[in-house]
Amino acid sequence: MNGTLIDRLLLLLAVCPSIDVALAQTNVGRISGTVSDASGAIIPGCTMVAKNTATRLEQTTRDEEGAFIFPGLASGTYDLRVEKEGFRRSEQIGIVLDTASTRTIDFKLEVGQLVRQFQYRPQSSRYRRLKVTWGTSSVTSRSARSG
């Protein structure tokens, strides 16, 4: 009986390291970080969006403690943005997430006005993008061809 227990323990010790290696060899990673203001105070309740630039798929998360995590993201390149009422929207683009990697991205938001974007797409192959900023007289637009 005692020999069987020792054999099982030795088998368990031999198998455990290979389980760790197998789990590390996945094609997913994670992006995490915090959101704070210019003084370093944590900003809770921000909406975080991670967009895979190749697939255009977006994942959204919201954390009431000023921290965020996107676990299980497929390896690739991501654009990350954070939004919170009363602050300027902030983006970090081109974040490369390699196989089984972890990236920490921290944001510092600036106090700012509300910005809204509208897209108008008529039936033709052209569309016009309009960006309107409330609180100032700034209105910009740009034309582009959809493709």
User: For the chain, which residues make up each domain, given as ranges?
Assistant: 25-112, 114-147
Going by C-alpha positions, the residue among 58, 87, 84, 88 that lies closest to residue 73 is: 58
**115-124: pLDDT as tens digits:** 555 554 555 5
How many beta carbons lie within 10 A of that of residue 107, not counting itself? 22
Phi, psi (degrees; rounded to nearest 5) at 93: -115, 155
**19-62: pLDDT as tens digits:** 444 445 568 999 999 999 999 999 999 999 999 999 999 999 98
The pLDDT of residue 104 is above 80:
yes
Pick the more confident residue, 142 or 73: 73
Q: In the structure encoding, which two tokens stand for residue 100, read together?
A: 């089984």
Kindly report whether the global pTM for this prediction surpasses the value 0.85: no
Chosen CATH of 25-112 out of 2.60.40.1120, 3.40.50.300, 1.10.10.10, 3.40.50.1470: 2.60.40.1120
Task: Give mean pLDDT, residues 60-87.
Answer: 93
40, 42, 43 from 37: Cα distances, Å: 5, 7, 7
